[in-house]
Homo-oligomer: A and B are copies of this chain.
């Protein structure tokens, strides 16, 4: 990253380049994470395993809050972020269930 001694517009553009790179990384990691949760959804549907696992979810929240703190990220934000993703996962799992019922 650039130091702040350059002209401010240059510094801004440089920071934005980093932000764009991080966003691309986030999107690709998220895509791979959803591939995993889709596989979990199919597995649970196939073997009649319970869809929800509150213990697992609680451990995920605690772990992410701790990781966030270590990385100087707001741990409440980290928890909200996980919930945001989990909501989408549940939407996917419901779609898998409907597909399974339809077939």
Contacts and interface: CB of A to CB of B under 8 A. Distances in A.
A73 to B, nearest CB: 4
DSSP class of A's interface residues: helix, strand, loop or mixed? helix
As for how many copies of this chain the complex holds, the number is: 2
Which bracket fits the contact residues of A? 35 or more
A56 B71 CA distance: 27
Contacts of A27: 64, 67-68, 71, 73, 78, 81
Interface string A2-34: 001000100110011011101111111111111
A81 B25 contact: no
Nearest to A56: B16
Given A43-B4, A88-B77, A20 B60 contact: yes
Top 5 closest A-B pairs, CB basis? A31-B71, A31-B73, A22-B33, A8-B47, A27-B67
